[in-house]
Amino acid sequence: MTSDRPFWRRRLLPVFLGLLAVNLIALAAWTLPRTMRLRNATARVEAAREAVETERADAASVRERSAAMDANAKDLQVFYDSVVGPEELDLLPTLEEIEAMARAPGLTPGRRSFSRKEVDDVALERVAVTLPLDGSYEQLVGFLQEVESSPRFLTVDGISLRGDADGEGTLLVEMSAFMRLPAVLRRGSVAR
């Protein structure tokens, strides 16, 4: 029994469809892994670009921080060299200058007292000075202006004032003077 279909349909079409299927499978087997590798490579390149940008930003931040640290180190050295004097040479002149600043506007200084303490984490010593002063309000203001314009590193930590009816008053001034410690600190660290 012969079929009504032509020969090409009976024999060649299944072979053609089979070969087409094999070619499509071969094409997919060839191109799909390459496409996946290309997508992965593209994703890795994009991730690498993002990582490079992040690293550049981090490097810029580190450079800025390094520049700030260098500027701080220079400022600290200027501070040590020109603002605070060495403790062994500058303590007595500073105390005498505080009393001279008190006498300049006409105040009468009382007996001063002081205590010394190292400042944590820096090569400085804080000398706390307590100084009673007698005089008028204008003289007291003049003294505070002298302290403010002093080239030494002085701070006014506290003031207590007792006045009387004549306009005179007693001022108890608590101040701090800061001195540079020697190169080798008591704790064994080296000052800069």
Domain finish residue from 83, 113, 129: 83
Task: Report how far residue 118's alpha carbon sits from residue 122's, in angstroms, rounded to the nearest whole number.
Answer: 8
| Structural domain for 99, as ranges | 85-180
- Provide the pLDDT for residue 170: 75
Q: Which among 117, 69, 127 is positioned nearest to 97, based on CA atoms?
A: 127
In a domain, 187, yes or no: no
Domain finish residue from 54, 83, 112: 83
Q: Which among 145, 152, 144 is positioned nearest to 177, based on CA atoms?
A: 152
- List, for residues 125-170, the tens digit of each pLDDT value: 888 999 888 887 788 888 888 888 888 888 889 888 776 666 666 7
C-alpha distance across the termini of the chain, in Å = 111
pLDDT < 70: residue spans in the chain = 1-3, 8, 163-169, 183-192
pTM: 0.55
CATH of the domain at 128: 3.30.70.60
